[in-house]
Amino acid sequence: MRAFRVTSFDQPPQVEEIPVPQPQAGQIRLKIESCGVNFADTLMTTGKYQDTPELPFTMGMEVCGIVDELGAGVTSPAVGSRVVVYCGSGGMADYGVFAADRCLPVPDGMPPETAAGFMIAYGTSHLALKRRARLQAGETLVVTGAGGGVGQTAIEIGKLMGARVIAIARGERKLAAAKAAGADVLIDASEDLTARLRAEGGVDVVYDAVGGDAFGQILRAMNREGRMLVIGFASGTVPPIPANHLLVKNVDVMGFYWGGYVKFNPEAMDESLKELMQYFAEGRLHPHINHVVPLSDAPEALDLLTSRRSTGKVVVNP
């Protein structure tokens, strides 16, 4: 079978031919239909992601596929059923083996591409805003990187929770994508963010996946008892945190790593994903798949993220 593999952190990943894997006890094998592509994948290619697997490995953190074979002791999901699974790696291939108890059924009417690109982006935004930031109806939420795939999910979830959402993105195209996702206020990232956000009444919750200089500017515009979520550093710069600002305004800065919940609280992750799947089934979420790329062109899928050309989710279809 074909697989998009990292064999060295000094060389770009390539599509290779490897044996079809066999499911072990507790595992199922999927005939993979679609695999979501994430910014973390781009970090894995050079070993810079916190959960980079040991070399060599197949890329792809979230997949949708048809159950093809069951390992010993597994009775469900049934062969022939469509499921999604957050796997961390192994998704950009024709087949993959994954833990059966991590699989979730795909709602009727959800295409494979949508299902594969759903878990990490929506799961991150939902668990971060609901569990960690405790976002309340009527509060003001700021989303950075709001024109990208993850940022758009944060806008949608924030609106579902009753927040007023301010979107920060760079350029008209990204801001238009944020507006389409439901943002109430649009701010170009090149503006004086502190002054602009203060003029908008300040900030209660921040969903920051960008880091860099914007972090400090937004922090200075936060309201008393505001909560800032550290989601990632798409800018490439990890910002310093001035502890005196936190003290004076009683502000919380909290880290959030969605994938970590697999190890210390998988129940919280599963509960969140089931709630999100129900929202989709009810027509309350509208995932935006921006690019569908064949496995043979998987390097292009990564470049769409690193070059910031994508305004929605990128998926790879074997």
| pLDDT tens column, 93-128 | 999 999 999 999 998 889 999 999 999 999 999 999
Domain ranges in the chain are 2-118+287-317, 122-258
Under 8 Å between Cβ of 3 and 14: no
The mean pLDDT of the chain is 95
Instruction: Check pLDDT > 90 for residue 261.
Output: yes
Residue 310: what pLDDT? 76
CATH of domain 2-118+287-317: 3.90.180.10
Instruction: Check pLDDT > 90 for residue 193.
Output: yes
Tokens for 50, please give them: 């916190």
pTM: 0.89
Q: E strands, the chain, where?
A: 2-6, 14-17, 27-37, 57-58, 62-70, 82-86, 95-99, 103-105, 140-144, 164-169, 185-188, 203-208, 222-230, 252-255, 289-294, 313-317
What integer is the mean pLDDT of 27-54?
94
Q: pLDDT per residue over 200-213, tens digit each? A: 999 999 999 999 99
Residue 216: what pLDDT? 95
Question: From 3.40.50.720, 3.40.30.10, 3.30.360.10, 3.90.1150.10, which CATH number describes the 122-258 domain?
Answer: 3.40.50.720
